[in-house]
Amino acid sequence: MGKSKLTDKQLKCIDLLVQKDLTVGKKRQTNEDIAKMIGINPSTIYEWKKIPEFNDELKKQGREFNSTMVIDAFQHLRAILNNPGTSNNSKLKAIEMIMKASGEFRDIQDVNISSDERTWEERRKELEERRRNRSER
């Protein structure tokens, strides 16, 4: 893989953008906060986001970061399942979430659609005949 065309400030910005929602006990970082941290004008971030290489790297790092979050989420779900104090309802929900994520469990609705070659006029006549038959009973 070749050397990145992005500057060190751009790479630091990407790192901070990817992690800006990960806050523990503090407020969420804004683009303005990130710009201040790396010594640029906030409008520069918006300009960088127009650069394809910047966006590609931002997406790539975002996917990598999210994949680690998924691992953490599964660890928490396993902890819920293994905790004897967890309610059965919570355990069932954790099982459902794990199975859905693995593709083993889906909410499925079967929908059957049939096609009828009759015209609307033929259908209307049939409906009228059914109504007459009901009223004759």
- Structural domains present in the chain: 8-106 (1.10.10.60)
Nearest Cα neighbor of 57 from 108, 12, 113, 109 is: 12
Q: What is the pLDDT along the chain (137 residues), one digit of tens a residue?
A: 456 799 999 999 999 999 886 665 677 888 999 999 999 999 999 999 999 999 999 999 988 888 887 788 888 888 888 999 989 888 888 888 878 777 777 666 666 666 667 788 888 888 888 888 888 76
- The pLDDT assigned to 63 comes to 87
Residue 10, pLDDT score: 96
Distance CA 69, CA 90 (A): 20
- In terms of pTM, does the model score above 0.75? no
